[in-house]
Amino acid sequence: PCSSSLLPFHPALLSPSPPPGTLNQAIKDVEALVKKEEDGNVHGVWLMAEVDHWNNEKERLVIITDKTLLIFKYDFVLLCCEQIQRIQLNFIDRISHGTFSFPKHSLLKRDGEGVRVFWDRLREPSFTSRWNPFANDFPFSTFTYHPVRNINDTFAALCDIQVFSEKLKAAAERAHAKNPVPGKANGVLVLQQPIYIEAYVGAMAFLGNQNKLGYCMARGNLGF
């Protein structure tokens, strides 16, 4: 069995949607893509920024269900889901929470804190993957706060990575107990430690993050 799957999603496969309500419409769209038999019931939806191994941040909608962690790349301009990553909860073995850190001589930096979710403790990223900015075969995902979290209390709750971490731990432990993976230690280790990004230089990451290129900016009444 595969612990994580990354699937392209063609916008034409979405059912016709009602007049757009930007974020509310996006949440309805991604919830409609949850498969009852494969995923189970929805336990929560979050709007976060995913930080890749080159320090690029990209907007994501994230759902926790009975059986899976679903990460959606959603286009808020065209109102369509472009990609789904499905991670089995019973494979998740570690959750780290802390500030970001970089190698000693790195020119990069990132303020704030984040959450990193691991689902294969024994597999380390290959040398080729670490130096490939387009690699997506890492056995973990890293999230931080979305820029809209300070707009109001509604956004603060939707972007709360601490609550996300707690809900994910509880859901993963239930999945471990219900469907243990043979040969894999059960349970989820939660660590309070710096989140290390092994990147040294990144002009594209700097320009992209400064100009919010990983975000869909045109959202009607949602902006920042």
For residue 135, give its domain range. Answer: 20-196
The answer to whether residue 63 is domain-embedded is yes
The answer to whether residue 74 is domain-embedded is yes
Please say whether the beta carbons of 79 and 25 come within 8 A.
yes
For the segment 149-166, what is each residue's pLDDT rounded down to a tens digit?
988 898 899 999 999 999
Q: Is 144 left (phi over 0), alpha (psi -120 to 50) or beta?
A: beta
Q: Based on the structure, what is the number of domains in the chain? A: 1
Query: Residue 105: helix, strand or coil by DSSP?
Result: coil
pLDDT winner (highest mean) among 21-25, 90-94, 195-199: 90-94
What is the per-residue pLDDT for 79?
A: 86
Contacts of 111 (CB under 8 A, 6+ apart): 100
For the segment 112-160, what is each residue's pLDDT rounded down to a tens digit?
899 999 997 656 665 565 555 665 667 899 999 998 898 889 889 999 9
For the segment 72-108, what is each residue's pLDDT rounded down to a tens digit?
999 888 889 999 999 999 999 999 999 998 888 777 7
The answer to whether residue 215 is domain-embedded is no
Verdict on whether the full-model pTM lies above 0.85: no
CATH number of the structural domain spanning residue 63: 2.30.29.30
The answer to whether residue 218 is domain-embedded is no
